[in-house]
Amino acid sequence: MAEDPLSEEVIEQATQLTRWARRAAQPAATTYRERRAELVAAHGYTARVRESETNVLVLYPEEWVVDGTVRRDRIDDLDRGVERPLSGDTPDEDWEHVWAHNCDLADTVETSHGPVHGANAQALAEFASNHYAARIERLSSEALHEFVIEYFPRNAWPSADQKAVVEKSVRLTFVTAGEPEPTIGQP
């Protein structure tokens, strides 16, 4: 029975594994969820995602849960439970910081991979910032699908070269941000 709260490092690792699982295709998604479960179980916790407009990772001490349900009579200290939003960015990060981050990432893509991928990354930066107020690397596979299929052809005025590599550009942008290649899913 764990008495200490989870460290911020463990919480951040669990949050990142959850984001990766939500973007990845099978079997990688299952692997990320299993790694998260092992990570938090090693500290006496269990994880679930509360699906809502913002989607939240919830980490509970294992002793609170019986047959997959949190039992209120087992909660000894509410502060031991942890919640982290999965959609968008942290509440204290304003649009200007998100925009600056996304533009810096697009510039790095251009420097590393050339002007065509850089232009596509800049279009992705505009989409992520203006439509989701989120860092690019926190976009879901559904949001990436929306970008590729709807936003990009209508709003980016892409060249033929840009259109030909847009999905590769999205993957390169994630890799440049230090994230695994995303799955560009169906809504």
Residue-wise pLDDT for 130-152, tens only, equals: 887 788 998 888 889 999 999 99
Instruction: Judge residue 61's burial from the number of C-beta atoms within 10 Å of its C-beta, 0-12 exposed, 13-18 middle, 19 or more buried.
Output: buried
Quick: pLDDT tens for 22-63.
Answer: 777 778 788 989 999 999 999 999 998 887 666 788 898 988
Could you read off the pLDDT of 59-88 as tens digits, one per residue?
Answer: 989 888 887 777 777 777 777 888 887 765
Name beta bridge partners: 84: 57
CA atoms within 13 A on the CB side of 139: 34
The total number of residues shown for the chain amounts to 187
Report pTM.
0.56
Between 98 and 89, the more confident residue is 98
Q: Which two tokens stand for residue 15?
A: 């949050």
Q: How far apart are CA 97 and CA 105, in angstroms?
A: 12
